[in-house]
Amino acid sequence: MLWFGQPGPGGWNRKCLRPFPLPRGQHPQPSYGFPQVNEVVFSPGESHCATCSEDGSVRVWALASMELVIQFQVLNQSCLCLAWSPPCCGRPEQQRLAAGYGDGSLRIFSVSRTAMELKMHPHPVALTTVAFSTDGQTVLSGDKDGLVAVSHPRTGTTFRVLSDHQGAPISTICVTCKETQGHLPPSLAAFCPWDGALLMYVGPGVYKEVIIYNLCQKQVVEKIPLPFFAMSLSLSPGTHLLAVGFAECMLRLVDCAMGTAQDFAGHDNAVHLCRFTPSARLLFTAARNEILVWEVPGR
């Protein structure tokens, strides 16, 4: 049996999660006639919780009423560990439970359909812990011999087994989101059409800039600062003009001879492509499904 409580006047107000009520006024006592509860997990919205026990049962409880709403039963096996799928796994009706058993099997239960969706056998011995990945697309399970299996909860395929902890039971598996800084800007390079010894480069780095590298001198000869990291790059074949497109919906035209720059707006999305025509009279820029054509003034 499982007791839930919250602070109340003079102590804790407790409710017992089990199919029959405790007699009024009686305090909970150790009960050796009931199977041991091995795990408690909660739904993403905390509207329900699930428990598993030595008798092979997985029970789902409504937290508001503390009533049993679903029960999954596996005969002649102990259910030792349990995990509830994360919120990003889908709509509430797509929530699943992963349960690990004493025979090394792992079962996936659908909460909405109240049915077992999948049974897999990734371990030769009893499972000790189980966890979903943060996207719900992978389930990780550990056993008492120290093996960790990485499996697909929809196909049942185990695609990796980790043995770094072999010889000691896996007590817990913690999963966290991978921290990312977003997509890195592209690395772009182009030979300078008015000076074949020069190579111009833009890309991710400490500074937002165009780097001009002299192939003969084998060194950087100039750096042109930019307001943002570049998404696209084009060099005019007829004039000393450099066009740079940005994710911030802006286009910059740099006159490398005069050392001046001018910014242009017009796109509603990232300028991911810019190209001078061979005559250098027009500049084409693209942002998603939109193309703008710019007239390039002559000298």
The whole-number pLDDT of residue 139 equals 95
CA distance 127 to 192: 63
pLDDT beyond 50 at 20: no
Q: 36-177: which CATH architecture? A: 7 Propeller (2.130)
CA distances from 103 to 77, 119, 131, 206 (A): 7, 12, 18, 54
Angle, vertex CA 25, rays to CA 23 and CA 27, nearest 5 = 85
The whole-number pLDDT of residue 88 equals 62
The whole-number pLDDT of residue 181 equals 53
Look-up of token digits 């299996």:
149
pLDDT of 126-184, one tens digit each?
Answer: 999 999 998 888 999 999 999 999 999 988 999 899 999 999 999 989 887 765 455 78
pLDDT beyond 60 at 286: yes
The whole-number pLDDT of residue 91 equals 55
The whole-number pLDDT of residue 174 equals 87
Per-residue tokens: 228: 């943002």
Mean pLDDT over the full length of the chain: 85
The whole-number pLDDT of residue 15 equals 55
pLDDT of 87-107, one tens digit each?
Answer: 865 455 578 999 999 999 999
CA distance 195 to 177: 48
> Of the ranges 25-29, 120-124, 249-253, 263-267, which one carries the lowest mean pLDDT score?
25-29
User: Percent of the chain, pLDDT > 70?
Assistant: 84
pLDDT-derived band at 185, boundaries 50, 70, 90: confident
The whole-number pLDDT of residue 101 equals 97
pLDDT of 217-238, one tens digit each?
Answer: 999 999 999 999 999 999 998 8
> Of the ranges 1-5, 70-74, 163-167, 278-282, which one carries the lowest mean pLDDT score?
1-5
CATH classification number, 184-298, choose in 3.40.630.10, 2.130.10.10, 1.20.58.2030, 3.30.450.20: 2.130.10.10
- Could you count the other beta carbons within 10 Å of the beta carbon of residue 243? 24
CA distance 150 to 159: 6
The whole-number pLDDT of residue 140 equals 96
281: DSSP letter: S
pTM: 0.55
pLDDT of 46-91, one tens digit each?
Answer: 899 999 999 999 999 999 888 999 999 999 999 999 999 998 654 5
Per-residue tokens: 175: 């999963």
Query: Which residues in the chain are classed under CATH 2.130.10.10?
Result: 36-177, 184-298
pLDDT of 232-263, one tens digit each?
Answer: 999 998 889 999 999 989 999 999 989 999 99
CA distances from 57 to 51, 67, 96, 100, 211 (A): 8, 16, 15, 11, 65
